[in-house]
Structure 1
Amino acid sequence: MTTSALAPDSVRLLPGTYDRRRRVNRDYLVSLDERALVQNHRIEAGIGDQGWHLKPSVTPGVETGWGRHWGWETPGALLRGHFVGHWMSAAAREVAVTGDPVLRGKLSVVLDELQACQDAGEGWVFGIPRTFLRRLAEGREVWAPQYNIHKTFMGLVDVHRDLGDERALRIAHRAAGVLAEWARAFGREEFQALLEVETGGMLEVWADLLEATGDDDLYRDLLDRYDHRSLFDGLLAGEDMLTNMHANTTIPEVLGAARAFEVTGEERWRRIVEAYWDWAVARRGTFCTGGQTSGEIWTPPFSFAARRGAKTQEHCAVYNMIRLADVLYRWTGDASYLDYIEANLVNGILAQQHPGTGMVSYFLPLQSGARKEWGSPTEDFWCCHGTLVQAHTRHASLAVYADAEAVTIAQYIPVRADIDTPSGALAVEVRTLDDALYVGPDANAGPGGSTHRPHALRVSVVIESAPTVSGRVRMRVPAWTVGDVDVRSEAAAVHRDRFIEIDHPGGRTEVELGFGFELRTVPLPDEPATVAFVEGGVVLAGLVDRETPLVGDVCDPTTLLAADDERQWSQWLTRYRSVGRSAGIRFVPLNEVVDERFAVYFPVVTPA
């Protein structure tokens, strides 16, 4: 049975790390001037700056103009106008979950502006000129106009899907007619050549709009035209279509294939998605972080040693592969996809957001001694800047799923979910008892708790409903779990297929879970004497400014690292130091590194 994600307004983050990151992201979304967001759409529509004024730039130390957006959003830049789509998508989800009145008001202004631009542009509602499509067809340099166009479509579709806004759907549907007229001017084979230049998620948008409008004539034709046969047919033939290819060109295309399957039911689309995952992950492997790519391209299968640099793990690829894993989990119920999501949330999405400013690190460098390079609020607007603001509005949606048979707790993120089950309404609250700001009964040693930092993730799950409403709840057992799961509950628990299952009889059911973890070494596949250190699902970073060998047993992390600085007031801290060296190296979670130089992989020398 297919598992479903919950509606955005059915699940909400509770206080904890993920909610703090969401709040930082929300504050950034609110800080942006809504008219600056559409500056390029207005310019393209010939409206310009009439009747409105931008606020002065507030970026510290930067004097670039009166509230304009710069970087990739600079008027005249080839990718100008892409970011507002990401912003709309993020704002819509935040409003759907929290009801945020400020963002709702700003979103309404953005839609007003886009509608005015579309009216002035006779259907064209994008931040680049139509001539960019002509340049694309002529083979002239133009970067990726369809990728750019997709972002505005994406934002409009997400506003409609998350908020039920019919105006957003009307704008998108009208714009689709303009794109269809352009696409139909080419023969089928001729148009296939245009798909070799990055199209973003255009295929996904056509599937979304087919579902939303029911316009078969328009959107089935567009699905057929955007069926990228050179990529998809190669995948179906069992060929490696990815090595040394730009990763985030193809991931959105395969997400489009996934939506095409969900909307049309045609099995070929599903087989494309499954083949892509097989080549992208199963046959390729990942870095210890769960991420992939170097310089934005797929590495060769299990060949990572020569691909560690300053530009590994592009944020866009991390975000979109999480989306793909979510799709495949919903189709299959296979917990391995949830493990993949967890690794990339902890060591990608959290690790690539500045915890104070909310800004993104485009890449997560795995070159020893590198630093994360953070974007700025208004001077960069990279592609990863866009996926950043979306990612931090969607944590709750990855935490809990439901189907007719059970509610599944997929990620141990503090949330409250209100679910309509076949037998009635049921509420689930998930709390992690070892969050950085809460120690619980281990506030003291001895009878009050552990003497040293507990080596288990402890989770509380509370299920509540009317006395007559029962239901089954499934809780994922993470792949990194060591030993038996500690389950404390009056309800009988069954361990089945990587999940702990309980039957909630109605009323209130409390469950406490303990997932044991240990420090382990994770070697590079093609350089097994070079390892990373991972505790549970958390990758550790050594604070060093160069590649630094360690001395010990590559298979026994206790010969290499020892616990360090484990306690602060009422908090347990994840901290280690190297042993067996004259100068120690301190290790902290990779997602806590901000401006320090660091290394993730360390060569290990066996002692004489």
Structure 2
Amino acid sequence: MTILQSFNLAEVTLGPGLLSDKAGRMLDHLRAYDADRLLRAFRENAGLPTPSVPRPGGWEDPTGEANGNLRGHYTGHFLSALAQAFAGTRDPAYATKLRYLVDGLASCQEASGYLAAYPEKQFVQLETMTTADYTVVWAPYYTAHKLLKGLLDTYLSIGDLRALELAEGMCRWMFERLRRLPAEVLQRMWSLHGSGEYGGLAETLCDLYGVTRDPDWVSFGRLLDLDVLIDACAAGRDVLDGVHANQHIPIFTGMVRLFEVTGEVRYLRAAVNFWDQVVPGRMYSIGGTSSLEFWGAAGSIAGTLSETNAETCCTHNLLKLSRLLFLHLGDPKYLHYYERALYNQILGSKQDVVSADRPLTTYFIGLLPGSVRNYLPKDGATCCEGTGLESATKYQDSIYFHGADDLYVNLYCASSVQWGGVRVTQTTNFPYEQGTTLTVEGGGSFTLHLRVPPWTSMRAEVNGQPLEVDSGGYLAISRDWMSGDTVRIHLPFSLRSEPTPDDPTLASVFYGPIHLVALDNRRDYLRADLSIFRPIPGNPLHFDANGTEFAPFFEGTTQAFHSYIRVR
């Protein structure tokens, strides 16, 4: 039912450059991390002998926040990241670690008949709760979703049938519980902040249905409908003020997937309207959203700046929703947002060092003057460290899309895609280079669609012959392609400021698609005029403004920075 289709991670390869360098650091971490740490809580919960290894820390520690009620979620994220790493690299080290983890989880399931890292009572208590309390019940269906998704990703990546069997067993256990509950109980459960959060469970159930064609998984997905939210968004009513952001963003990826398998337009309409309520009205310059995990009123950006902005999970999930909506609707605004969020917050959420012990990714990002990114949040193993693992192992997943006779180039970066008998390679050092060259190997008649970013006056030429480019959408080039054909794309960068909607004197600075931050530890807003910015020789994408250095946010440093400055 989709207009376009995405490529498998194995069909798209990153070339040398910024994305590849960032991904490489996370790939090294995945390879080095001790898998027994990820199994410890499961083995303890199943009463099995447990090797003496450190816990992942933080939320995975039973003596940590909320008594470790969320433990087990990080193992699910890690499975997904390993599966993506293997799909993208074919390095057998990742497949070996996946099989070891599946072995361990299967042993735990056999020992207890129940696959989780915490007792069953969290599921039981949630059914009678009327007030949220994450110290008593902390999102058991959210944690189950992470593990379910990790197991399904493992099956899809390495074909391990045991992983699929474990995933189906988890789903059967949850479905049998939920299908017996009255509708009013389900609605109450899913509306509880924290306790009733279930993440992207509906999306993964649709994915599982795509593998097994068992209609129970679609029925299960429908049990997760939070009607008050779906109805409001489908009607175009903005009810997001005061709402927890990341509890709800993944609900809408599930709605798009439920639309795909049921044809129920209400789901798609709700997701489309929801996205428009977040972007751009609740979006910070880096592409992130939320303050202390919650949304404020639309248009309140300057008024919500704090040390706890832009929870990284939110951006991870908004990217997933954006790509799904583009596949259905083809509106370039979704990929314009995708570029902003990927090249700024997501790349900047990973510290530019390698650690065997920690993924070194952000949770919140402070956007007040003089903020410093914290790459060791909440003592470890948080939701955002988990999605950080996943984000950094799938940078290539939205560079290209395709139809029957159409190839879409959505993002500009060093990469190549194999599409049937055609291979298209991008050669570029973007964003350090202001353009890219596409080279065709193989041949055939198809239309190449090149995204025209709104921040540039794009120029393009085929085999040296210039093309006419309209602004803001996609440039379509239909021809009989032959090996050796080249498309050269020029993407000139320029400096610009983007004022906040609620304070036009406060703005962010961009150079092309790249958000520039002032490297300065002062806690008051700086004043700067773009006319004084001068490139720093030998340091690309860095500028000097009367002694203050501006640098790309994507550089994963621990330097104090200013994301917003006074421009009047």
Question: When the two structures are superposed, what TM-score results if normalisation uses the length of structure 2?
Answer: 0.92
1:598 paired residue among 553, 561, 567: 561
Write the distance in 2 (CA, Å) between the matches of 1:129 and 1:504: 61
1:221 to partner: Cα distance: 2.7
1:405 to partner: Cα distance: 2.4
- Aligned residue type for 1:303: S
Write the distance in 1 (CA, Å) between the matches of 2:154 and 2:275: 29
**In the alignment, does 2:140 pair up with 1:145?**
yes
Aligned to 1:539, what secondary structure does the other structure show?
A: strand
Counterpart for residue 205 of structure 1: 204
1:95 paired residue among 62, 78, 86: 86
Write the distance in 2 (CA, Å) between the matches of 1:38 and 1:262: 35
Distance 1:120 1:494, change over 3 A: farther
Counterpart for residue 155 of structure 1: 150
Counterpart for residue 586 of structure 1: 549
1:177 paired residue among 172, 192, 195: 172
1:587 to partner: Cα distance: 0.8
Distance 1:191 1:499, change over 3 A: closer
**In the alignment, does 2:425 pair up with 1:429?**
yes
Counterpart for residue 411 of structure 1: 411
Distance 1:86 1:603, change over 3 A: same
Write the distance in 2 (CA, Å) between the matches of 1:373 and 1:158: 29
- Aligned residue type for 2:288: G
- Aligned residue type for 1:351: G
Cα contact 2:301–2:500 (8 A) shared by 1: yes
1:541 to partner: Cα distance: 0.7
Aligned to 2:351, what secondary structure does the other structure show?
A: coil
Aligned to 1:530, what secondary structure does the other structure show?
A: strand
Counterpart for residue 275 of structure 1: 273
Counterpart for residue 475 of structure 1: 450
2:121 paired residue among 131, 149, 155: 131
Q: How does 1:367-406 map to 2 (within 5 A)?
A: 367-375=368-376, 379-406=379-406
Distance 1:550 1:188, change over 3 A: closer
Question: When the two structures are superposed, what TM-score results if normalisation uses the length of structure 1?
Answer: 0.86
Counterpart for residue 42 of structure 1: 43
Counterpart for residue 459 of structure 1: 436
1:27 to partner: Cα distance: 0.8
1:576 paired residue among 524, 539, 543: 543
Counterpart for residue 109 of structure 1: 100
Write the distance in 2 (CA, Å) between the matches of 1:16 and 1:433: 6
Write the distance in 1 (CA, Å) between the matches of 2:79 and 2:405: 34
Cα contact 1:548–1:602 (8 A) shared by 2: no
Distance 1:150 1:551, change over 3 A: closer
Any stretches of 5+ residues in structure 2 without a counterpart? none
Counterpart for residue 231 of structure 1: 229
Cα contact 1:416–1:427 (8 A) shared by 2: yes
Write the distance in 1 (CA, Å) between the matches of 2:430 and 2:142: 42
1:249 paired residue among 241, 244, 247: 247
**In the alignment, does 2:320 pair up with 1:346?**
no
- Aligned residue type for 1:74: D
1:25-70: CA deviations, max 9, x gaps?
A: 0111112211211211111112141xxx35xxxxxxxxxxx43321
**In the alignment, does 2:72 pair up with 1:81?**
yes
Aligned to 1:534, what secondary structure does the other structure show?
A: strand
1:551 to partner: Cα distance: 5.2
Distance 1:472 1:535, change over 3 A: same
Write the distance in 2 (CA, Å) between the matches of 1:133 and 1:2: 39
Cα contact 1:252–1:320 (8 A) shared by 2: yes
1:111 to partner: Cα distance: 0.6
1:472 to partner: Cα distance: 2.2
1:299 paired residue among 296, 305, 310: 296
1:245-303: CA deviations, max 9, x gaps?
A: 11100011111111111222222221121121122225x24222222111111231111
Q: Over the residues paired in the alignment, what is the CA RMSD in angstroms?
A: 2.0
1:536-561: CA deviations, max 9, x gaps?
A: 111111112224455566xxx21xx3
Counterpart for residue 519 of structure 1: 495
Counterpart for residue 366 of structure 2: 365
Cα contact 2:282–2:301 (8 A) shared by 1: no
1:192 to partner: Cα distance: 1.5
1:223 to partner: Cα distance: 2.2
Distance 1:551 1:594, change over 3 A: closer
Bigger radius of gyration among the two = 1
1:434 to partner: Cα distance: 4.9
Write the distance in 2 (CA, Å) between the matches of 1:552 and 1:360: 30
Write the distance in 1 (CA, Å) between the matches of 2:208 and 2:100: 23
- Aligned residue type for 2:123: L
How many residue pairs end up in the alignment? Answer: 548
Cα contact 1:461–1:512 (8 A) shared by 2: yes
Counterpart for residue 533 of structure 1: 509
Write the distance in 2 (CA, Å) between the matches of 1:274 and 1:163: 34
Q: How does 1:45-64 map to 2 (within 5 A)?
A: 45-49=46-50, 53-54=51-52
- Aligned residue type for 1:418: Q
Cα contact 2:249–2:318 (8 A) shared by 1: yes
- Aligned residue type for 1:395: Y
Aligned to 2:491, what secondary structure does the other structure show?
A: strand
Cα contact 2:200–2:250 (8 A) shared by 1: yes
Cα contact 1:203–1:256 (8 A) shared by 2: yes
Counterpart for residue 160 of structure 2: 165
Write the distance in 2 (CA, Å) between the matches of 1:78 and 1:552: 47
1:6 to partner: Cα distance: 0.7
Counterpart for residue 335 of structure 1: 332
1:593 to partner: Cα distance: 5.0
Counterpart for residue 185 of structure 2: 190
Cα contact 1:207–1:219 (8 A) shared by 2: yes
1:155 to partner: Cα distance: 0.5
Distance 1:300 1:472, change over 3 A: same
1:12 to partner: Cα distance: 1.0
Write the distance in 2 (CA, Å) between the matches of 1:69 and 1:433: 36
Any stretches of 5+ residues in structure 1 without a counterpart? 55-65, 440-456
1:391-420: CA deviations, max 9, x gaps?
A: 011111111111112111100121111101
Aligned to 2:384, what secondary structure does the other structure show?
A: helix
2:312 paired residue among 305, 312, 315: 315
Counterpart for residue 469 of structure 2: 495
1:385 to partner: Cα distance: 0.3
Counterpart for residue 562 of structure 1: 533
Cα contact 2:458–2:469 (8 A) shared by 1: no
- Aligned residue type for 2:211: A
The percent of aligned pairs where both chains have the same amino acid is 28
1:164 to partner: Cα distance: 3.4
Write the distance in 2 (CA, Å) between the matches of 1:81 and 1:418: 36
Write the distance in 2 (CA, Å) between the matches of 1:525 and 1:418: 42
1:363-390: CA deviations, max 9, x gaps?
A: 22101011001127x9500100000010
